[in-house]
Amino acid sequence: MRKDSLYVIVGLGNPGIDYIETRHNLGFDFINFISKKWKIKVDTLKWKSEIGEGNIAFDDKEEKIILAKPLTYMNLSGEAVKEIVSNLSLPLEKLVIVHDDVDLPPGGVQFIKDRGDGGHKGVKSIIHHLNSKDFFRLRFGIGRPLDELDMVNYVLSGVPLKDKKLISKAFYLGEEILKTFINYGEKKAISKSNKKGIY
């Protein structure tokens, strides 16, 4: 298999029933979303992650896709991502990290590369373990709490219904961004970002 034909999409979150449908688990939720749409079962345990592999036809070409959900807990996500990258000898330009982001409103979506962690500890761990920021990120907005001191409780709490509706729309756009990235490259994918979350 040519390494340049392989794309790896890693959604960040915390394993366990206590964290299901919390704001901080949007990365996991998005992987669940596209695994159903792309018919890739994420049910293999390796590289400190749940992994799914499949071949997806995009326009006139077929690409190998790996979906992953690290099982290390959020703050140690870099350990799992490092294992994935190392075992696959994966070029970082073929890696997309999917995560929640308090700097975007609910429903907001942004595709970026080569940025700092923005205070996200999962992303911080990945940058540390890869010793690089040179990978792509698909950010889904969750907004900020009214009380900044309550950030931990905020990201670990459930998503309100009104925000769920916006995030659901954002997931469809996120899928379109990924397909655009794989088919046409980063510039067109970045141009599809919707940072304001208005639909």
Catalytic positions: 24
The span from the CA of 153 to the CA of 84, in Å, is 30
Calculate helix-pair angle for 77-88, 121-130, nearest 10 degrees.
40
Q: What angle do CA 7, 104, 187 make, to 5 degrees?
A: 40
Sequence-distant (≥ 6) Cβ neighbours of residue 198 within 8 angstroms = 107
Question: Would you state the structure tokens that stand for residue 194, as one six-digit string?
Answer: 């919707």
In the chain, the DSSP E strands lie at 6-11, 44-46, 49-58, 61-70, 95-101, 109-113, 136-141
